[in-house]
Structure 1
């Protein structure tokens, strides 16, 4: 695709909603400034994330052009903000570590957005086909499952990166209580519960010792389940909105501003 196509798509977005276009330009400018700063400090990994973010900013325009669909201005703004919050603030500026709940907030939004995308795609297929007619409940159920599937696939990705590259994408948690069948001294198959853990000592084969202060180090399980639970919350919220809009034929400002629409051919 020619770069001019992206430019035309962005210009169309400007005509539709000036605030969204300005928001896009501001975020893009901030990413470029961050990229320059990271290059000067020779932090090339963060610079690569900045480049990836700039490419992701073009994704809505690419999809609109290729699939002949239209993202509502508010939906585009949320996508741009989500990319900036996840990649630049979260990864580059380490908000995932600095600000408690940052990751949880983004996973909740992700569940909401993915449900909106799944709902919109199935709705377009349902409306445009003579042989494909889903009830509002089934359409909403498919959208909900789509959102949860995306969430699960992402957790698979995080687990794979942690296993092969030790990136710790599934963030660790310090816990003070564990239940383990493996630690049962009687091998009875019953969980052996250890409470009030104050610290853990890790010994390696080369003689090194590492101390975990405050409790036992949970590797990824709590983070994964938390992410999936908040993804569930986001998916349920939009599913309720989408179902109510279809079932009761009520106008919903949320649904209208977040549902993908086919391009009006009269505007071509």
Structure 2
């Protein structure tokens, strides 16, 4: 099962997963229970998108998997096991800023999928607004996760409590707005940057979810 899980993954993803498993087992053997728990929890969170994508028959592009794994590794493992949240003042801000843009893009891809990739099923601004709401929801759920981890397992993911949570929510809002803006520009045919390429890559790997978009694109190219 482990071989099947690691096979075909990006080298960066496979190395991080292997490091987490090795750390968890070594810490367990040495009696460092908290480190073992944090490492294994990080590994479980990192592989969850792969299992969910498999169940939903979604193909995840390599950049998405790498970004997800690095974010979880940096936030849960590095942030907690090595106390980077306290040692590096900008660690939490940087992680939330980067992840919130990803949440916005994920929100756009989800909304676009609901319309089967039909660019004309709803006005671009409406789809961008819904994508923003989805991105904010994902960010809020992460804050709930941080609270539960602090409450149940005695971690310190929230640091200063309410102030940290509100700062994170505001950063999530800015990132979700940027991600949804990228989706808006993509719908208007004005997207020509890295975000548009990521959107195209995801759609190309999951054509069955975006049938109308691909059919319309084929017509436009004739």
TM-score, normalised by the number of residues in structure 2: 0.79
1:162-201 map, 5 Å: 167-172=155-160
Aligned to 2:127, which of 139, 142, 145?
139
Separation in 2, partners of 1:28, 1:164: 24
Shift of 1:251: 4.2
Separation in 1, partners of 2:150, 2:166: 16
Query: Match of 1:71?
Result: 60
Give SS of 2:116's match. helix
CA contact (8 A) 2:182 2:195 kept: yes
CA contact (8 A) 2:107 2:180 kept: no
CA deviations 1:30-53 (Å, max 9, x no partner) are: 213322442244221221222222
Query: Match of 1:211?
Result: none
Separation in 1, partners of 2:70, 2:151: 30
Aligned length: 206
Give SS of 1:70's match. coil
Query: Match of 1:116?
Result: 105
Unaligned runs of 5+ in 2: 209-222
Aligned to 1:153, which of 133, 141, 158?
141
Query: Match of 2:165?
Result: 224
* RMSD across aligned positions (CA): 2.9
Separation in 2, partners of 1:138, 1:33: 46
TM-score, normalised by the number of residues in structure 1: 0.66
Separation in 1, partners of 2:6, 2:29: 30
Query: Match of 1:33?
Result: 22
Give SS of 1:170's match. coil
Q: Does 1:43 align with 2:29?
A: no
Query: Match of 1:263?
Result: 206
Task: Return the index of the structure with the highest Cα Rg.
Answer: 1
Structure 1 residue ranges, 4+ long, deviating more than 3 angstroms after superposition: 156-169, 249-253, 258-265
Q: 1:231 to 1:100 in 2, by over 3 A?
A: same
Separation in 2, partners of 1:49, 1:168: 12
Shift of 1:150: 2.1
Q: 1:88 to 1:258 in 2, by over 3 A?
A: farther
Separation in 1, partners of 2:154, 2:78: 21
